[in-house]
Amino acid sequence: MLCETAFVARGGEGGPADGDLDALAARWPAWHARLAAFLMSDPLREPRERLQALHAQLRDTPQHDLFSGERAEQA
């Protein structure tokens, strides 16, 4: 599902496992061309750039720690 208003990430996810690409090609033979077309047209470029700009603005705020992935040291 694609939703330009949500972002979810987990470390270690996103890479193909053994056999995944072969399974995709067997089930959807045109997937590679469709993926290439999607990446070339980059329909999420503008929302991604806006998100990156907003994230950069947070670097100068107290909320930066919430989004940086860094944990505050406990006293």
Average pLDDT, the chain: 78
**Residue 6 structure tokens:** 């949500």
Position 74 pLDDT exceeds 70: no
Distances (CA, A) of 68 to 11, 61, 65: 14, 11, 5
pLDDT of residue 7: 67
Q: Give the Cβ contact number of residue 52 at 10 Å.
A: 10
The string of pLDDT tens digits covering residues 4-39 is 677 666 666 677 788 988 998 999 999 889 989 999
Handedness of CA 48, 49, 50, 52 (dihedral sign): positive
pLDDT at 41: 94
